Structure 1
């Protein structure tokens, strides 16, 4: 595949002309960026409308919460015991591999489906590309610990952490209910706790950021303010250190109302957090815990070079990439490429010559890597991104889905100096 092949963006009457790496003068470049930045004002309206609809969805979801909870409990009881045995049956897994038919074995398929199900339990955040108008009144801020997000599950006398893709990360004894032999309910498998956490490797600590289930009581339809209160109350009886020497500790990640003062403190790290920060998390007080992998505009990530070691995407060696890379998914027409959002935001088309020459190899959902060109983005009248300056770089083999639009926009704004801490705290 030939790298750096221009990708066709959708036409826009107001879009500046395409400028590739070798084309255009300094004056042209400045004019193109000024046009693109001016269009970002309409982006704010699009984001505000999305947050408004998300809050409407919260109210609708609560009205259906009881019915949904009954359905979830039936599913959990139907597959829970089977999953528990499957996860720990190492001998059975060995037999599957030795037969050389791993992918065709029902046990392997069940395990793969279990990973997908666990991965879908984690809330998917968006990125803060415009400051909510009610940030100081209705949002909370958390200084995010550096490390991978995990699903933390205590059940049947053991605690298991799972990575974002659902695979097992660690298994250990914890002070959570039913998280160790000492806290297990006698004579029964006992109830289950499911927490959203970040594992901070330098201190071997899981910092808990949210609560999904506590002793079989689901909190997914409760607002964030209540979930925070619940966690604070329950963690008063949970020992922070590991149950045994050398095992991970559990602590609550701090969260405060996102006043200008608290945002400044979280940003500066002056409270002595005890961990390396990786940006800030802003959560609306009325936000429910949205599952299923669909990102919510009511939980937003934000970072810059002051509060994160790697605010801009880097390569495997930690070196900042010269140009922004974007991973997009091929759509049903086998030419359009869009984001990993639901529904996807279509940003362009792969070149027709490339599409024609590889028609027998292209399939919907296929992932492609692109470099974002200097022109940036085109926006519609409602502020929705309608196209982008893209250069086809190749296939993406290591990703499960494309980048979401807010992440793409945030990285672009950060690279072009349009992400500033002052925008979070100024009047």
Structure 2
């Protein structure tokens, strides 16, 4: 790279919004002083029996994490769905290539299936979906996961972040929150991934199903973001159907909710579910987004802080019998999406209705942008990428992954 001309100051590359949030997230977790052990215990109790928690005694001090989690376990309906959904670490859609990708990030192929939290305790294993509903209640070879496999205190619990892959009836472990009562909330992703592999081999949970082991558990292959690792995750064979790539910052703690320290990438080559399709599998001329209605009529994403995508007037809200906190589905047509200074703006939202009741919260800004980017015409895609995110992402869209790897590394 040639040096800048004399008397002309060198201009540093602009830091993307997603990278800025990544840096803030790393700083925030370093300053956090949460009681990780109490947090894991309360989550385990809620997963096992959300309706059985007793009312905590009155206290003369600020409520602890355990108090808050116990109170949350009494929630019902949409409040319960939202609380349970926010206990899982959720990725943002990749908007740019993080710096130091090869040294600071892991990557793996995400299994297609149902995301859930699995807890084993007191001789039983229970899996719960993101909306809090029970997926399976079964015996397993996880620690204290069946009556035959109780070792140590029966109340000792383990919590795994899994995806249930229906074709082979296997729980694929993508993260670990607790193991035999030891909380991993404040451990780095690099350490958690190491424990998933090492601790799983200490059990027979990876064996074929049996009477006391209803479903098989398996760890997903984790790769360094090197040339070989990215190629293996993207185009290598897996025992499961792929649904995109997940990137985890090695230094990231397990952060409940949406975080820029975990990223997801999807395209036609590594996922069947890139953008919305109709009943015939065809891409319609519009895409749908889910937003949350606020007190002032604004429509926002699930980000913290939320991003405003539009608003509804009071007359329409009253006529449609809508309330603040409602999740609403809107259609977005191509001609209503514009690029202003390299950023995506939606000039008009068409109200469709309310989403499925099992839905816990609105789409994130990165997901909305990611879906609409995939739906854009190629000319708009090139304009958006070259302005806001660089040629790296154009290479991803074109599926020229070999070129992408060379540029990333």
- Assess same fold via TM > 0.5: yes
Counterpart-to-counterpart distance in 2, 1:249 and 1:70: 27
Aligned to 1:300: 263
* Counterparts in 2 of 1:204 and 1:73: CA distance versus 1, 3 Å: closer
- Residues 349-400 of structure 1: CA deviation (Å, up to 9, x unaligned): 23x5xx43544634322233222232425557xx876x42323233214233
Aligned to 2:123: 157
Aligned to 1:396: 354
Aligned to 1:283: 248
Counterpart-to-counterpart distance in 2, 1:85 and 1:345: 34
* Counterparts in 2 of 1:178 and 1:394: CA distance versus 1, 3 Å: same
* Conserved 8 A contact 2:85-2:360: no
Aligned to 2:200: 235
Shift in Å at residue 242 of structure 1? 4.2
1:261 aligns with 2:261: no
Cα-Cα RMSD: 3.0
1:69 aligns with 2:36: yes
* Counterparts in 2 of 1:327 and 1:173: CA distance versus 1, 3 Å: same
Shift in Å at residue 72 of structure 1? 2.8
* Conserved 8 A contact 1:224-1:283: yes
After TM superposition, the score normalised by the length of structure 2 is 0.77
- Residues 155-180 of structure 1: CA deviation (Å, up to 9, x unaligned): 11111111111110011221110011
Shift in Å at residue 281 of structure 1? 0.4
Counterpart-to-counterpart distance in 2, 1:278 and 1:74: 31
* Counterparts in 2 of 1:83 and 1:400: CA distance versus 1, 3 Å: closer
| Among candidates 374, 377, 391, match of residue 414 of structure 1 | 374
Counterpart-to-counterpart distance in 2, 1:393 and 1:212: 39
After TM superposition, the score normalised by the length of structure 1 is 0.74
Q: Which of the pair has the greater relative contact order for Cα pairs under 8 Å at 6+ separation? A: 1
- Residues 52-92 of structure 1: CA deviation (Å, up to 9, x unaligned): 1111112112xx14xx2355367569x669937849xxxxx
Gaps of 5+ in 1: 1-40, 88-105
Shift in Å at residue 49 of structure 1? 0.8
Shift in Å at residue 232 of structure 1? 1.6
| Among candidates 312, 315, 331, match of residue 356 of structure 1 | 315
Runs of 4+ residues over 6 Å off in structure 1: none
Aligned to 2:21: 50
Aligned to 1:341: 303
SS where residue 49 of structure 2 aligns?
helix
Shift in Å at residue 319 of structure 1? 4.4
* Counterparts in 2 of 1:406 and 1:357: CA distance versus 1, 3 Å: closer
Counterpart-to-counterpart distance in 2, 1:114 and 1:391: 28
* Counterparts in 2 of 1:311 and 1:230: CA distance versus 1, 3 Å: same
